[in-house]
A and B are shown apart, each in its own frame.
Chain A
Amino acid sequence: MTESTVKADRRAFVSKLLGLVPDALVVTGLGSASYDVFAAGDRDKNYYLWGAMGGAAPLALGLALAQPDRPVVCITGDGEQLMGVGSLGSIAARQPRNLTIVVLDNGHFGETGMQRSHTSLGTDLVAVAKGFGIADAFGVDSIARVGEIAERVNARLGPTFVRVAIEADEPPRALPPRDGTYIKNRFRAALGLAPF
């Protein structure tokens, strides 16, 4: 795998992307990706995971199928996506038009001390996503291409997978709410849904 020396700043990238997709329902994988999304501004239509590693993409799939008229964006990290990698196949099998998976790939398990992940050791997540059947899969390494991703999110023309090469740095922690029941009910209320 060719290692680009230019990489995106994760916070700036996520903040700009979310600014361009104001209607999107956002699901985050645990750890740094959730901090990035929260740091961009808390929204009722964000669902932050604090555990359930590997669950972000399949949770976003169920959400996208339930809300086909709204764009759904899953923002997660390479380690979280790798743990739930089969879900890319399940997404491909359904081809939800309104689902975009954005993997912030720093090649490391950031939350546990920056051990190298598989994407530093030969795994190409774009090839993996394409292999599973997500045809619109591509990589970016610059904030200059955020607009392309946002256009796809808003257009809802088919599932998209984006691998964003980011710096392996650790921006200040910005911790979203940890009360899963609260964010669940807040999210549903934002969609006009009552608690059970």
Chain B
Amino acid sequence: MTQTAPAPAWQQDIFRILKSGGVRQIAYVPDAGHSHVIRGAIADPDIQDVVLTTEEEGVAVVSGAWLGGQRAALLMQSSGVGNCVNMFSLLQAAQFPFFTLVTMRGEYADFNPWQGPMGRATQDALELMGITVLRASEPEEVGEIVQAGFDAAFEAGERVAVLLGQNLIGRKKWERK
């Protein structure tokens, strides 16, 4: 693997918030927009990274972490929200604190029309299942909004998703060079 450029500042902000907030488990289905946080979790001896086969597992993993006294966060793409819908019942039925970061697809210069349907339904699907949705679209606001959502989850015990706009990541390059 080639050495990559430093991660964008907004991704560094996210990892800093999770780390300083005492997150001990980061469960994820990967995405380019989460790559810095995932690398950080793998490298950090105090954080356990949990790779998932489907995002709904992560809803249960982070709830189990809370039962055991640890804060955990779930990372996914917007498509993953659709995979989670029934598992979100767990969060409401037991009032688990819940914090997820969702990178958006299908909303900004997306080349792949298959990402559109779930991307357009992501916010509604979360809200239908009782999850409060925040959104960060500009790099400078990511830190503030992620921190606000994080505090609502773990200080107020809420269920919170922060959507990270697709424009943060930019156009995906489809041609391999």
Listed in ascending order, the chain A residues whose CB lies under 8 Å from chain B are 25, 27, 47, 49-67, 84, 86-87, 89-90, 93-94, 180-181, 183-184, 187-188, 191, 193, 195-196
Binds A, one of B4-12, B93-101, B110-118, B163-171: B93-101
Interface assignment of B52: CB less than 8 Å from any CB of chain A? yes
What residues of B have a CB within 8 angstroms of the CB of A183 in the complex? 94
In the A-B complex, list the 10 residue pairs whose CB atoms are closest, starting with the nearest: A62-B64, A66-B68, A86-B53, A180-B94, A55-B60, A63-B64, A58-B60, A62-B61, A59-B64, A62-B65
Q: Complex Cα distance A87/B52, Å?
A: 7
Q: Complex Cα distance A191/B52, Å?
A: 27
CB pair A62–B25 under 8 Å, yes or no, is yes
CB pair B57–A58 under 8 Å, yes or no, is yes
Greatest chain B CB density within 10 A among A27, A62, A65 is at A62
Interface assignment of B137: CB less than 8 Å from any CB of chain A? no
Given A52-B89, A86-B54: A181 and B25 within 8 A (CB)? no
What residues of A have a CB within 8 angstroms of the CB of B58 in the complex? 58
Interface assignment of B125: CB less than 8 Å from any CB of chain A? no
- B71 CB, nearest partner CB in chain A, Å: 9
- B55 CB, nearest partner CB in chain A, Å: 11
Given A62-B68, A65-B48, A66-B67: A184 and B96 within 8 A (CB)? yes
Given A58-B60, A94-B50: A63 and B93 within 8 A (CB)? no
Q: Complex Cα distance A24/B94, Å?
A: 21
What residues of A have a CB within 8 angstroms of the CB of B156 in the complex? 196
Q: Mark B61-87, 1 if CB is under 8 A from A, else 0.
A: 111111111101000000000000011
Interface assignment of B34: CB less than 8 Å from any CB of chain A? no
CB pair B25–A59 under 8 Å, yes or no, is no
Given A65-B50, A66-B24, A86-B53: A59 and B95 within 8 A (CB)? no
Listed in ascending order, the chain B residues whose CB lies under 8 Å from chain A are 24-25, 27, 48, 50-54, 56-70, 72, 86-87, 89-90, 93-97, 154-157
CB pair A62–B62 under 8 Å, yes or no, is yes
14 A-B residue pairs with Cβ-Cβ distance under 8 Å, sorted by A, are A25-B68, A52-B90, A52-B93, A55-B60, A58-B58, A58-B60, A58-B61, A63-B65, A84-B56, A86-B57, A87-B52, A94-B50, A188-B67, A196-B154
CB pair B64–A60 under 8 Å, yes or no, is yes
What residues of A have a CB within 8 angstroms of the CB of B25 in the complex? 62, 65-66
What residues of A have a CB within 8 angstroms of the CB of B155 in the complex? 196
Taking a contact as CB atoms closer than 8 A, the residue among A66, A84, A184, A195 that contacts B57 in the complex is A84
**Chain B minimum-CB-distance residue to A195:** B157
Q: Complex Cα distance A57/B66, Å?
A: 15
CB pair B61–A61 under 8 Å, yes or no, is yes
Q: Complex Cα distance A62/B27, Å?
A: 9
CB pair B67–A59 under 8 Å, yes or no, is yes
**Chain A minimum-CB-distance residue to B96:** A184
CB pair A55–B24 under 8 Å, yes or no, is no
- B110 CB, nearest partner CB in chain A, Å: 26
Q: Complex Cα distance A58/B65, Å?
A: 10
- A179 CB, nearest partner CB in chain B, Å: 8
CB pair A65–B65 under 8 Å, yes or no, is yes
- A21 CB, nearest partner CB in chain B, Å: 17
- A79 CB, nearest partner CB in chain B, Å: 14
Q: Complex Cα distance A80/B63, Å?
A: 18
